[in-house]
Amino acid sequence: MRRFSSSWLRDCCQGIAAGVVALVATGAQAQGTTQGGCCYRVPGTNQTQCIVTTPQDCISRQGLFRGPGTTCATPCPTTTPTGACCVTANGQIACIQTTQANCTTQQGTWRGLGTACTATLCAPAPAPTGGCCLRNAAGATICEIRTQAACAQGQGLWRGPNTACIEACPQPAPTGGCCVRTAAGGLTCQVLTLAACTQAQGLWRGPNTNCEVACTPPAPTGACCVVVPGTVGFACIQATESTCTQQQGTWRGANTNCANANCNPAPTGGCCLTSTAGVTTCEIRTLAGCNEGRGLWRGPNTTCEAPCPAPVVRGACCITTPNGSSCQTLTEQQCTQAQGTWRGANTQCSATICAPTPAPTGACCIRNTAGAITCEIKTLTDCRTARGLWRGPNTNCEMGCPQPTQPSGACCIRSETGDITCEIRTLSACAEARGQFRGANTTCATPCPQPPAPRGACCVTPATGAATCSITTAAGCTELNGTWGGANTRCYPGSCQAGCPCDWNDDGDRTQADLIAFMTAYQAGNADFDGDGDTDIQDVAGFIACYQNDPDC
């Protein structure tokens, strides 16, 4: 700490005392004045001068103000008194030894006359602490005593300085799965609070639920005719089919409304119904109920006293002719005799019933020429042709395709002709094509190993005796001086005999009529194709092999 000379303290105190005496002596003259003696150093010199002025002017001169109403009767001390001053420079707090006036000019904090700078004199006061509500690792909201900065770092809510954790922190609203309709009209699931789900006009699944189960469209509503309790009358309510059934009502269909619904009871009558076992029964039903069960309605107010006639079950039959496909309503037996395809009992001919069922489409992730993965809607066949990854039927491209992260390498894939070709693919793309992945960053410089030569039936005719059949390759058959039947052909009774053993109707040609004739004989137990004395499934296998592969047919 700086020490001042006894003469300086004496002169300073005498000056202050003189000022006090002057104030007392002058009475009203000194009352209310703000001016007083000001000791300051003359700029450019070491001389100290005293003037009577205001405190503000004295501070601007970096002087020492003696007090309001003081004078310059006492000489000023020759040394200007200083003290410690805490100032901010370049974002740091520093301590300088200066006068009070200069400390004020630098917007510092004056520590007092005669104080000295130390290492801790200007240290900032510690930040205040208080209660902080924040969420722990388990998801619960807890309270801890923290500074405001530490609370913000933990993404908490600070209650203020000097607050405590006596009051419990408010727990966050629970979240759950929320089914929200997208801009494209589909449904997506998000984990939201009940309030956020309601604001998004979604359907909340409840607290702590998730989005593992996909959102399904809500069941449609329609007009539902229910009996008014205590009466025989009916009333119409708007409900789903399941709700209508629970209330023992009659549902008029999806998207129907009560404005157009007539809930008067429909007349009932006898309805002849045929079960899946072919048994015909009679029930009292309305016309709509009878049609729903595909029955024959006898009319309003009829009964079930008379037995129902045995039904003749007919359905749509698709027949292929040289001019294309045609549809006729026939029994199953009639359809089989016409070599047609029966679509089932009570099916109706339409423009599309005989058309082939179109293959379902779905999202297909395909690599473009730039190497990026794009999404297109394709069938499974078209997706595989494009060497893409199919996500399944009825999927869409809303979720996008994951971009490749796997390294690529050589992949050996079997082509449609049976040859093994090499392509550069990722491990997953190679597996999708049922290929063999050679490793990351490998190339196709080394050819893929080719499959063994295909094998098939080989007929060898010796000089004497009957011809024999064996399974070998084309080269092996040539070495035996035999006749090779082709890849994957099979040996069966008569396969090496001249003529066509599967020309079952002996018309000199192998057609679908031979297949029908053989199956008719098989059902009658008279189709011993392999000559083992029995008519069994082995005869069917041998006949089919001949029908598909015999070169003499």
What DSSP letter does each residue of 266-317 carry, written as one string?
PPEEEEEEE-TTS-EEEEEEEHHHHHHTT-EE--TT--S-SPPPPP---EEE
Do 421 and 401 lie in a common domain? no
- CA distance to 128, 133, 148, 412, per residue, from 161 (Å): 5, 13, 8, 71
Asked if residue 309 is part of any domain, the answer here is no
Do 517 and 530 lie in a common domain? yes
Instruction: Kindly tell me the sign of the dihedral angle through the C-alpha atoms of 386, 391, 396, 402.
Output: negative
Do 544 and 523 lie in a common domain? yes
Question: Band of the pLDDT at 404, cuts 50, 70, 90?
Answer: low
Do 29 and 90 lie in a common domain? yes
Give the burial class of 63: count Cβ atoms within 10 A of its Cβ; 0-12 exposed, 13-18 middle, 19 or more buried.
Answer: buried
Q: Residue 363: what pLDDT? A: 93
Q: Residue 422: what pLDDT? A: 93
Mean pLDDT of 98-119: 82
Do 21 and 73 lie in a common domain? yes
Distance CA 103, CA 279 (A): 112
**What confidence tens digit (pLDDT) does each residue in 449-495 have?**
888 888 888 988 888 877 888 889 989 999 999 888 888 777 766 67
Element (H, E) at 538: helix 537-549
Structure tokens at 301: 């107010």
Q: Is the pLDDT of residue 8 over 70?
A: no
pTM, to two decimals = 0.23
Do 375 and 435 lie in a common domain? no
Distance CA 23, CA 429 (A): 102
Structure tokens at 497: 């005999």
Q: Is the pLDDT of residue 412 over 90?
A: yes
How far the first Cα of the chain sits from its last, in Å, is 125
Asked if residue 483 is part of any domain, the answer here is yes
Distance CA 319, CA 71 (A): 131
Report residue 512 CA to chain centroid gap: 51
The more confidently predicted of residues 313 and 62 is 313
Do 434 and 371 lie in a common domain? no
DSSP state of 29: G
Asked if residue 273 is part of any domain, the answer here is no
**What confidence tens digit (pLDDT) does each residue in 292-328 have?**
887 888 888 899 988 888 777 788 999 887 777 889 9
Among the candidates 58, 91, 113, a domain finishes at: 113
Spatial contact of 410 and 430, defined as CB atoms under 8 Å apart: no
* Structural domain boundaries, residue 362: 358-405
Distance CA 369, CA 241 (A): 51
Distance CA 436, CA 413 (A): 7
Q: Is the pLDDT of residue 167 over 70?
A: yes
Phi then psi for residue 83, to 5 deg, are -165, 180
Asked if residue 533 is part of any domain, the answer here is yes
Of all residues in the chain, the percent with pLDDT exceeding 70 is: 90
Asked if residue 459 is part of any domain, the answer here is yes
**What confidence tens digit (pLDDT) does each residue in 36-55 have?**
988 877 887 767 889 999 98
Do 416 and 440 lie in a common domain? yes
**What confidence tens digit (pLDDT) does each residue in 336-394 have?**
988 888 988 888 898 888 887 788 899 999 987 766 788 999 999 899 998 888 988 99
Mean pLDDT of 120-146: 86
Among the candidates 75, 95, 113, a domain finishes at: 113
Q: Cβ neighbours of residue 340 under 8 Å, at least 6 residues apart?
A: 317, 318, 319, 320, 328, 330
Q: Is the pLDDT of residue 146 over 90?
A: yes
Among the candidates 405, 437, 466, a domain finishes at: 405
Do 461 and 438 lie in a common domain? no
Asked if residue 373 is part of any domain, the answer here is yes
The more confidently predicted of residues 73 and 112 is 73
Mean pLDDT of 168-178: 85
3-class secondary structure for 51-68? EEECHHHHHHCCCEECCC
Give the burial class of 302: count Cβ atoms within 10 A of its Cβ; 0-12 exposed, 13-18 middle, 19 or more buried.
Answer: middle
Report residue 422 CA to chain centroid gap: 35
Q: In whole numbers, what is the pLDDT of the chain averaged over residues?
A: 82
Asked if residue 196 is part of any domain, the answer here is no
- Residue length of the chain: 553
Q: Residue 477: what pLDDT? A: 93
**What confidence tens digit (pLDDT) does each residue in 251-270 have?**
888 888 888 777 877 788 99
Helices 537-549 + 512-523 axis angle, to 10: 170
Asked if residue 484 is part of any domain, the answer here is yes
CA atoms within 13 A on the CB side of 405: 2
Strand order in the sheet with 203-204: 187-193, 175-181, 203-204
Distance CA 129, CA 164 (A): 9
Do 545 and 466 lie in a common domain? yes
- Of 266, 272, 303, nearest in space to 287 by CA: 266
Q: Residue 552: what pLDDT? A: 63
> How do the residues of the chain divide into helix, strand and coil, expressed in percent and rounded to 5?
20, 30, 50
- Of 467, 528, 463, nearest in space to 495 by CA: 467
Distance CA 171, CA 289 (A): 55
Beta bridge partners of 224: 237, 251
Do 388 and 471 lie in a common domain? no
Q: Tally the domains of the chain.
A: 4
Q: Is the pLDDT of residue 403 over 80?
A: no
Residue tagged 């339409």 (tokens): 350
Beta bridge partners of 97: 84
